[in-house]
Each structure stands twice: as structure tokens, then as C-alpha cells.
Chain A
Amino acid sequence: MSVIEVVNLSKAFGPKVVLSNVNLRVEEGESLVVLGGSGTGKTVLLRNIMGLLTPDSGHVAVEGKIIAQLSRDELFEVRQSIGMCFQMAALFDSMTVFENVAFGLRRHQKMNEAQIQARVEECLSMVGMKGTDKLKPAELSGGMKRRVGFARAIALKPKILLFDEPTTGLDPVMTDVIGRVILDLKHELGVTTITITHDLKSAFEIADRIALIFRGECIACQTPAEFKVNPHPVVQQFLRGDADGPFLQDPPPPKRKEARA
């Protein structure tokens, strides 16, 4: 049985269809990377998996439990086994780094202060953020915030980790650092991960399988090697990073050089 099953998932906001009939399966210990242009509903997909949004049709099942049908208490129980890393980290800005990472532990585990201290330190060192526990989120850079967000997500030892654009807006070096952190976490914890990204380099590093969402539909879901040679024009355009092609609904005018030629 797959850990996460997305079956015929459709979601629209008013007249705007964001996802239509998306099917995905993630096996245990596998890491899936979801690619797609901006605003193609990748984040909406994660939010449906977390139960933050309810699908219009179809369903998401985590370990066989259909998310939309759970009661709130059951949903919270499932969420304890999922760690979610937000795009802008979403750290609680009134708390220190330590309190942020300790938040889930304090609420859901009967640990004493020393155990919490130890676990928080362990999590922070896993993401290379040791010694920052007394700082406030406002004192951290973007990349540091993301990593603290990772530490908070892994504190409860989840079986599933979801990363929402973990590298967007970071410099290439920090992007590589984050990619490495994700790989380390995967190997150390053996978790199942879904990562949403635009960054092809880290996508190929992290992924066991790559999916591409195009106009609300999942048009490819295969291993990185297969994905690279997928003949689908949208896939090839995405890999080239070219403005011309079927990817954009209304492509910009051709580049000046070509126009002159």
C-alpha cells in the first residue's frame, strides 16, 4: 500500500480550476519531486494532502486514511506523522527558535524539559543550525528560517515530510545547502518526502521520481532518467527553461535578437 495516494483530485477556486484529475502515488521511503510552473497548483496539492483544503472531487489518502473524511481529532493524529515545511517557513515570530522547534514536543509528547532540550538540539544540528536557539525568527536570514522550519517539522519524528518550495528565493549556494539537508534528512530518517520546487538541479539530486503538473494535470511521473528523455514537448520545454513552446498559455513576444534575425 502506498503511503500517500492522490486519486482523481480536483480543486477549483471559483471559476479558476487549479487541479483537475491529478493522480499520484508515493511509496514508503520514496522521495517524489513535483515540478510545475508558478501558479499551477503545486502548493494546493500539498494543502490538500495536509487537509488544509478540501478537494472538490477525488480524495487524498495518507496511510490508507482518507483525509477529507476524518474527524478533526483523527486529522490531528494523522498530522502528527506528517512534517510540513512552508515556503516562507511560517515560524511563530513571537517565539524563539528553541520554542518554535519545541512547540510540537511540548504539546504532543510527555517529555521533561531535559528531553525536550536534547531533542531540539538534535533537530537543530541535523539542519546545521546549532547554537541559534535563543534567536528570534526576525533575526534569521531566509535560508536559516527555512532550516529552522525543517527542524520544527522533524521534531515529532514524522514518517512523511512535505517541502513547499524549499529553495525559492535563495542564492545558488544556499539552494545546494538546502538540497543537501533534504537528502541528509531522507537518509537519516528514512522518511517519505514530497518536495515542490522549480529548481531542476536540486530536483534531480533529491528525486526518486519526478512529476510535472501542467495546467492542473499531472502529465508525467517517472524516474529522473526517464523524465530527462520524456518526449512530451512541455517536459522538454520545462527542462530547457525556454519561453517559447506550449508551456505558457500566452507566451511573451519573441526575444529581440530573434525578431531582428
Chain B
Amino acid sequence: MILSFFDKAGAGVLKGMDTAGDFAVLSGRTFAAIFKRPFDGANLMRQFQAVGINSLPVVLLTSLAVSMVFAVQLAYGFKQFQAGGLAAGVEGLAVVRELAPVITGLMLSGRVGSAMAAELGTMQVTEQIDALECLATDPIHYLFVPRFLAAAIMLPLLTAVSIVIGYWGGYLVLVGVEGQSAFVYGNEFYKLLAARDIRIALTKALVFGMIIALVGCWKGYRTSGGAEGVGNAPTSSVVTSSLWILISDFFLTKLLLV
């Protein structure tokens, strides 16, 4: 009874280590392959398009919705002790430091990470990845690197867009609905912020982008078991990368704010 418990626990630990090791090795190979020849510009551009341009509408809408609802809550909360004027400053703090990078990261893990897992998963089960190998092409270099670069570059850019949208979302509610002065909102929004907050937000976005691409590609690459496997890969990629986005967000905030 006890022995079988230890047996199971040990097997679980070993499996966990195995998975973590596999992810680490593939990530390492991705980093190493970034500067390898040949450089495939067209492929990279396609990924920029898929990750960046095509994600704009989703990022626009979610950033607007989240920043507006957040402004409503802040206005309501601060009004209870006649401090409605603080809402704009806190809105700015929240949008720049947390909401923009995290919302962008979570949306892209759903939109882009899952697509990567599904695409690579299908390629894996239809032997297209083996075909790449047989044509003397490293799948890590051909498939992982452009997706990784696109996500790592596009996430900070989309986060910047999200911050701008967040500003106008708050503006709509606090100035448009609550009737605060537009001039005061414009000043207050940045009052609690410093340049390093933007830097922190973009650093977070960069890390989230790497997580999304690496987890999505890794889950797809390790797909096995036909249609069911291809079905599981995106789900599991979204869950894993969302989890790691939130966990790493805590540690990044803690480390970078010191």
C-alpha cells in the first residue's frame, strides 16, 4: 500500500522531470537555431502576419472591454469615499503594469498558441515533420524559430497597442460617462507611472510571447495518436501557456518592481 504510493509518486515525479527536460531541450535548440542558415524571410513574414496583424482586432476589442469595465469599477469604488479623482491614476497603473500585457498574453495564447499547436500537431501525425527531416531540414529551425521570433517581437508591440487602447477605454468611461475633466484625466493617467513601468510591461510581453510560441510549438511537435492527439494539443497548449503566463507574471512583477 505504502510502497505502491511511493511507486506512483516516484513515477509521477520522473514523468514530470521528463516533460520539463524535453521542453527545456527543445527551447534550448530553438534559441540555438535562431542564427542558423538559411534565413527564411518569407516564412518569418507569414508568421508576423499571423501572430501580429491578424491578432489586432482581438487585442483591440479585449483591451477596450477590460479597460472600460475596470474604469467603471474604479469610479464606483473611489466614489464611496469621495475620491473619484484617484480613479484615472489607478486606471493608468493597472492598465500599463498588468492589464495590457496579461490580457494580450492570454488572448494570444488562445488565438496564436493554439493555432501553432494544431498546425504542428497535424504536421506531426501526417508525417510532414518526418518529411522535413528527410529533406534535411531541421523542423526546429524551419517551424519553431519563425513562430518564436514572431511571437517574441509581436507581443510587446501588441501590448503597446493595448496600452493605448486602455487609455482611451478609461477615457470613454471616466470622462465620457463619469464626467471628469479630460485634461485632468490626461494628466492623472500617467501620474503614478514612470518610464520603467513601460519597460516592465514590454519585458513581460516579451516573456509571454516566448512562452506562447515555445509551448504551442512544443505541444504540437510532441503530438501523437491521430485525431484525438491533434484535438488535445491546442487545448493543452492554451492551458499550459496561460498557466505559465500567470505564474511568470507574478515573479516578473516581483523581480522587476524591486
CA distance A77 to B127 in the complex (A): 21
Q: Which of B126, B131, B137 has the most CB of A within 10 A?
A: B131
Q: Would A108 and B136 be within 8 Å (CB), given that A92-B131, A93-B126, A93-B128 are in contact?
A: yes
B136/A86 in contact, CB under 8 A: no
Contact of B138 with A76 in the complex, beta carbons under 8 Å: yes
Question: Is the CB–CB distance between B126 and A88 below 8 Å?
Answer: yes
Using Cβ atoms and an 8 Å threshold, which residues of chain B touch A87? Answer: 127
Shortest CB-to-CB span from A201 to chain B, Å, is: 26
Interface string of B28-42 (1 = CB under 8 A from A): 000000000010000
Q: Which residue of B lies closest to A103 (CB)?
A: B135
Chain A residues with CB under 8 Å of B133's CB are: 50-52, 79
CB distance from B18 to the nearest CB of A (A): 15
Interface residues on B, range: 10 to 19
CA of A82 to CA of B126, assembled, Å: 20
Given A88-B126, A90-B128, also A50-B38 (CB < 8 A)? no
Interface size for A (C-beta < 8 A) is 26
- A90 contacts B131, C-beta separation under 8 Å: yes
- What is the total of A-B residue contacts with beta carbons within 8 Å? 53
CA distance A93 to B128 in the complex (A): 9
Q: Does B177 contact A (CB under 8 A)?
A: no
| Contact across chains for A52 and B130 when beta carbons are under 8 A apart | yes
In contact, B135 and A77 (Cβ under 8 angstroms):
no
In the A-B complex, the 3 residue pairs with the closest CB atoms = A90-B127, A84-B134, A90-B131
Residues of chain B touching chain A, judged by Cβ–Cβ distance below 8 Å, are 38, 123, 126-128, 130-131, 133-138
Q: Show the binding face of A for B, using Cβ within 8 Å.
A: 47, 50-52, 72, 76-77, 79-80, 82-84, 86-88, 90-93, 103-104, 107-108, 152-153, 156
- Subset of 18 A-B contacts with CB under 8 Å: A47-B130, A51-B133, A52-B130, A84-B134, A86-B127, A86-B130, A86-B131, A87-B127, A90-B126, A90-B130, A90-B131, A91-B128, A92-B131, A93-B126, A107-B38, A107-B136, A108-B136, A153-B134
